[in-house]
Structures are given as structure tokens and as C-alpha cells.
Amino acid sequence: MTTPENALAGKSFAKAYFPPARLAVSGLFLLNGIFAGAWAPKIPEFASRLGLSESALGLMIMCFGIGSLVLMPIAGVLIAHFGSTRTVKGATLLFLSTMLLLSMAPTVPFGVVAIFLFGGLLGAMDVAMNGNAVEVEKSMRRAIMSSCHAFWSLGAFIGATTGGFLIEALGVMGHAVLLTIVGAAMLLLIWPFVLHDAPHPSEERQKARLPMTPLPWLIGLMALFSMVPEGSILDWGALYMREELGASLALSGFAFGAFSLTMAIMRFAGDHVRDRFGAVKTLRFCTVMAIIGMVVAGTAPNAYAAMVGFALCGIGISNMVPIAFSAAGNLPGFAQGVALSVATVMGYSGSLFAPSIIGFIAEHTGFALIFTLLPVLFIVVLLLSHHAVHADVHDRH
């Protein structure tokens, strides 16, 4: 039987652990993920409409990465001057139009502009919402970054799995219009509850320049070396299982499935684990699990053993990047947006560009050797893991 005291306790728990600001920033991650996931099923039609060969499509997708690398640092400077609230709202408003631009691009030059803006504004929104998540962490004095990234993973899953069906049912433009309307409705609900962080102009202008000390760059290196293996599994895991381990087409898809499932579960659990054991211990445990998983996958005698390895990698990699981003956003003596943009730009450059380099190398060596050697990057993260102490915000005042 529910008593008034129990009901009051439940409301207090909900208010303490799920305040509106936390739900709002989680909604922004979900929205960003839905749009990112919805792009994947549109790629074949986009290439066909513009008459792109595989190599031309590769160059076009590189424009996506270049857009991210150009606009991410700009978003960092805007956060330093105006705060994450204004920046994330402005970036999200602009980002909502990009799916329509991609769906109506009639020529290659128009397509280049559309995909540059899509990648750039997705990246700018990413930096700003990570910055806002850091502010919510500070206000709550507990970790929320991992669960925010879990909502992004959930959104990407929703966007990718519904995209093909909706494109078949509604057409390319119908899918884009529906997605834009849903995104606008989500933003309208979220808008009033985004945590407001008022900047301090004189202080922030002084700090809003490229960091000259190594600490932000070292944390950026942690993010980079965490995301290179992640991107490699997402892009090449299925091909490795199919071509080198003899997996069926259906089974090879479980390389990504096993990895993404354990990653999503661990991201939802990651904040509690980090609050309980601290960011440094959590990062070290995750990194060791990622090393074990990658070695198991790279030396696997069959596809099933590789799936176990990729699942272990998902457990490990899941909270490495959120911890790095929290650490960057909480560095003392640095403008939050600038330090965070350094970490995000370095991290995402790894997932955007490294897999193509790895694919080129793998043509000569095979993927088994690549996956077996990638843990060297995790060893570097392990050596730098003491810097994750800056991610612990529950004791800050």
C-alpha cells in the first residue's frame, strides 16, 4: 500500500536523480542520436541521386567529417562566450533543417554543402550538449555523462532501425519531413528545461583561446585512443567476421550487435559505477576490459569467440569516452567549452578518419592483426588514466 510518506519519498528521489535539466539534456542526446542514426539508411539513395561512385561517396562522407572538425571548435568558443545553453539551443535549431537539405540535394555541389552542414552542426550540437551535461553534473554533484551517451546510442538505434521502413513507406522527403517535425516537437518540449549556465564574459574571454598547456591535449588523446578502436569495430567488425572467420551474413551483423548492446547497458549503469568507485578506477577497469575484449576478438578461432570479444569491448569502451569528456569539461583554469572541444575534436577525428586508414592497412595485413594490435592504444589510455580524476564532480562546490 502506498502511503503519503512513500509517495513523498518517491517524488524526492525523482527530483534528486531525474531533475528536469537532466531529462532535458538526455533528450538532446536522444534527438542528436536519432538524426545521426537516420542518416545511415539514406546513404544509398543519396549516392544514387547524385550519381556517386564508391570512391566519390567516400570523399563526400569525408566532407561530413571535415564539417564536424570545422564547427566543433567554433562551438567550443561560443560556449566560452555565451554558455552551453544558448549554444546548444542555436545549434539544435539549425541542425533540424539538415535532414531536409540532404534529402533534396539535386547536384554534387549542393550535396557537399548539405553534408558539410549536417556533419558540422551535428558536431557543434554534440560539443554543446556535452558541455551542458557537464553543467548538469556540477549542479547535481553526481555523474550523468554515461547515461547521456546511452541515450545517444538509443537514439541512433531508433533512427537506423526505423529509417529504412519509413523511407519505403513515406519516400525520402516524407521521411525527412517526419523526422524534422518529430525533432522540432522534441526540442519544443525540451527548450524550457535546458539548464541555464550564465557565462562570466571577462573570465571566459581570457580563457577562450587554444590551450597552451598539455593537460587538455592529454585528455583529448585519451578520447582519441578510446574512439579509434570503437570506430574500427563499427566499420570493420562485420567484415572481419564474414571474410576472415567465415561467419554467415546474418551472424556477421552480431559483431556490431554484441558490441552496441553491452555498450548501451553499461552506459546506463556507468554513472552509478563512477559515483561509487570514482572516475579513475572506473576508467582503468573499463580500459582493461577493452584490452581483453579486443585481444579475444583479434585472436578468435571462430565467429562466436569474436562475438564474445566484441561484447567485452562494448563493456570496456562504453564509459571511456564519457569519462574523458567529463574530465575535459571540468578542468580547473580552462574555459569549459574550449577544453571540451579539444577532447571532442580529437576523439571524433579518431572515429571519423582512422577507420579508413585501418581499412587500407588491413588490405595488406588482415583485420585479425589489426584488432590484436589496437589494444596498444588502450595501454596509452591506461597510462594517462590518472587525469580522469577531474571527471569526479560530486565533491565539488
Q: Which three cell numbers stand for residue 246?
A: 567465415
Q: What's the per-residue H, E or C state across 4-47?
A: HHHHHHHHHHHHHHCCHHHHHHHHHHHHHHHHHHHHHHHHHHHH
**Taking the CA atoms of the chain, what radius of gyration do you get in angstroms?**
21
| Contact of 138 with 123, CB cutoff 8 Å | no
Average pLDDT over residues 41-66: 80
CA distance 236 to 253: 11
| Helix ranges, the chain (H) | 4-17, 20-39, 43-50, 54-82, 84-95, 98-104, 108-140, 145-190, 201-207, 214-243, 249-252, 254-277, 279-298, 303-317, 320-329, 336-365, 367-373, 375-384
The position carrying cell 560539443 is: 127
Q: Give the pLDDT confidence score for residue 52 in this predicted structure.
A: 82
Instruction: Write out pLDDT tens, residues 36-46.
Output: 888 877 877 88
Q: Is the pLDDT of residue 102 over 90?
A: yes
Q: How far, CA to CA in Å, does 291 sit from each of 12, 301, 375?
A: 41, 18, 5
Q: Is the pLDDT of residue 131 over 80?
A: yes
Q: Is the pLDDT of residue 2 over 60?
A: no
Q: Give the pLDDT confidence score for residue 334 in this predicted structure.
A: 65
Q: Is the pLDDT of residue 340 over 50?
A: yes
Instruction: Write out pLDDT tens, residues 208-242.
Output: 456 667 888 899 899 999 988 887 887 677 778 88
Average pLDDT over residues 292-308: 93
Q: Which residue has the higher pLDDT, 139 or 184?
A: 184
Q: Is the pLDDT of residue 206 over 70?
A: no
Domains of the chain: 18-206 (1.20.1250.20), 209-397 (1.20.1250.20)
| Contact of 226 with 313, CB cutoff 8 Å | no
| 198 class by beta-carbon count within 10 Å (0-12 exposed, 13-18 middle, 19+ buried) | exposed
Q: Which three cell numbers stand for residue 182?
A: 518529430
Backbone angles phi, psi at 335, to 5 degrees: -65, 125
pLDDT exceeding 90 applies to what percent of the chain? Answer: 34
**Separation of first and last alpha carbons in the chain:** 39
Q: Give the pLDDT confidence score for residue 393 in this predicted structure.
A: 62
Q: Is the pLDDT of residue 11 over 60?
A: no
| Contact of 25 with 147, CB cutoff 8 Å | no
| 25 class by beta-carbon count within 10 Å (0-12 exposed, 13-18 middle, 19+ buried) | buried
Q: Is the pLDDT of residue 4 over 60?
A: no
Helix 84-95, helix 108-140: angle, nearest 10: 150
pLDDT exceeding 70 applies to what percent of the chain? Answer: 86
Output the CA torsion sign for 317, 323, 324, 326. positive
- Band of residue 299 on the pLDDT scale cut at 50, 70, 90: very high
Among 192-196, 332-336, 367-371, which is the least confidently predicted range? 332-336
Q: Which residue has the higher pLDDT, 183 or 359?
A: 183
| Contact of 268 with 146, CB cutoff 8 Å | yes
Q: Which residue has the higher pLDDT, 274 or 176?
A: 176
Q: Which residue has the higher pLDDT, 393 or 313?
A: 313
Output the CA torsion sign for 362, 368, 373, 377. positive
CA distance 193 to 70: 29
- Band of residue 56 on the pLDDT scale cut at 50, 70, 90: confident
Q: Give the pLDDT confidence score for residue 239 in this predicted structure.
A: 76
Instruction: Write out pLDDT tens, residues 67-96.
Output: 888 898 888 888 888 888 999 999 999 999
Q: Is the pLDDT of residue 16 over 80?
A: no
- Nearest Cα neighbor of 341 from 124, 152, 144 is 124
Q: Which three cell numbers stand for residue 261?
A: 548492446
Q: Is the pLDDT of residue 207 over 60?
A: no
